[in-house]
Structure 1
Amino acid sequence: MTYENLLLNISNEILFIVINRENRLNALNKATLAELHFAISGAQIDATVGGIIITGAGEKAFVAGADISEFALFNEEEGKMLSQEGHHKVFDVIANSAKPVIAAINGFALGGGLELALACHIRIASENAKMGLPEVTLGLIPGYGGTQRLTELVGKGKAMEMILTADMIDGEQALVCGLVNKVVAQENLMLSCEEMMSKILSRSPKAISAAIVAVNASLDKNQNGFTVEIEEFGKCFGNKDFKEGVSAFLEKRKSTFERD
């Protein structure tokens, strides 16, 4: 696929995805969402990719929301389909990625932009980051998982406050409430994300994928997370990563895991 709104680069097993609409503060439009679907889905079957880092072009915004002009005249059914398609093709694909995904939040992450970050497994923010869900100011609510994922991360009370007031919070506030994992200086953002991803990629790829499945199951009302954990734990014993990890431990050496 030819990407017009994304910049993709693979380095040291990390796929860097840059949302490249800086003149629109990297707002998500239909074309960008379609490209994200192909990029994330493609990464799942690309053996050269171990993990993914998503960020926005420039220093002002990660993603400052959705492109409102595209849905300003939608009716109820069109609005429902917009949300449903976004969930199925992008946000759920990221959340359920077998490969770890880190959001590098470099500036404004608002509306659909914050929802994009929420779908990622880990979030690291720059000191100038501003995060919020302003949908109620437009007569809407978050429609790409924001009401669910924000609540999971920060609790019902804080999620209610952020969604109902539409107020933004900064990086330090986001760190305190558990919305982000880490806050760093703007100039150190990508390096911090790379360092964390590199550490993750030094671990067993199969165990990482199994852990993502098990953790996600804890939040799925249709699954018993403990049962999923048991299943995924058992599966680990049948793969080569387990044999390598145990051998390395017993031989007092560093494990060397291979990516399929």
Structure 2
Amino acid sequence: MIRTGTRTVADGATIRTVTFDRPERRNALTPKGLDQLEAAVTDATEPVVLLRGDGDAFCAGADLDVVDALPDRDAAKAFAEHGQRVATAIAAADPLVVAGIDGAARGGGLELALACDLRIATPTATLGEPGVELGLFGAWGGTIRLREVCGLGDAMDLACSGRVLDAEDALRIGLVSRIVDGEQGIVEVAEELASVDPDALRTVKRRLRDDADRATQEASEAAAFADLVVARTDGGGR
């Protein structure tokens, strides 16, 4: 269900590619697939992880056959919590995680993309949270991250209507960061990110992800900057 690989950038840096590899089901995820995804991202030693889908979809989200087979409320709650843990692990992972969306990102697939640090789309990308049409909603952290990424108004619109956005509309509300020309464009963005200093990249991600109070964030920011200056002056950078 999850396929991993490595790409080497011109200056010797590497990128880990993590691919949803179940195209016959539009890359829908089972519990096993969630576990494989978490391991593929959190075990990465490369500075950048590129998450993408095989076939015509990025990821359709949870496999509805799995959802419909959940035997009781406790099992349903545990399945939601499983997806939440994986999304949180992606957000907290040491590398910068880039979602390369070329095709459909739906439901849990969009939620996992929201957990990534950047979302890069191609012109054929479509994004939506259609859970309400199925009597469900995005419970892998989607109601939280959707609001954080694009604001309450657009989050309400998307989650309550179930409508699907094209790449341009997703860019307009901040759901994706860039639109690039095809799969190669996504790879080029990942390579661009991998070419910078890896310690600085990790530090910036941690600082931007920090949700402590302002005073604590500022103290951590100053300390992290000092660490990078020492590494730079000691010749410890790349």
Using the size of structure 2 for normalisation, the TM-score is 0.90
What letter corresponds to residue 72 of structure 1 in structure 2?
Answer: D
Is the 8 Å Cα contact of residues 62 and 109 (structure 1) preserved in structure 2?
Answer: yes
1:27 equivalent to 2:28? Answer yes
Q: Give unmatched runs, 5+ long, in structure 1.
A: 249-255
Q: Encode CA deviations 1:183-236: one digit per residue, 9 max, x unaligned.
A: 1233xx3x3333323332333322222222221223xxxx21551342143134
Cα distance in 2 for partners of 1:38, 1:174 equals: 29
Q: Encode CA deviations 1:134-180: one digit per residue, 9 max, x unaligned.
A: 11112112111111111111110110000000000000000011000
The equivalent residue for 2:145 is: 149
Give 3-state SS (helix, strand or coil) of 2:140's partner. coil
Aligned residues: 232
Give 3-state SS (helix, strand or coil) of 2:196's partner. coil
Cα distance in 1 for partners of 2:20, 2:7 equals: 17
Matches within 5 A, 1:207-226: 207-218=200-211, 223-226=212-215
Cα distance in 2 for partners of 1:233, 1:195 equals: 32
Matches within 5 A, 1:152-191: 152-186=148-182, 189=183, 191=184
Q: Give unmatched runs, 5+ long, in structure 2.
A: 9-13
Cα distance in 1 for partners of 2:231, 2:186 equals: 27
The equivalent residue for 1:66 is: 62
Give 3-state SS (helix, strand or coil) of 1:214's partner. helix
Q: Percent same amino acid at aligned positions?
A: 31
| Displacement of 1:246 | 5.5
Quickly say closer, same or farther: Cα 1:224–1:17, change in 2 above 3 A: same
What letter corresponds to residue 257 of structure 1 in structure 2?
Answer: G
| Displacement of 1:51 | 0.9
1:97 equivalent to 2:93? Answer yes
Cα distance in 2 for partners of 1:184, 1:62 equals: 15
1:55 equivalent to 2:52? Answer yes
Is the 8 Å Cα contact of residues 94 and 120 (structure 1) preserved in structure 2?
Answer: yes
RMSD, aligned CA: 1.9
| Displacement of 1:116 | 1.1
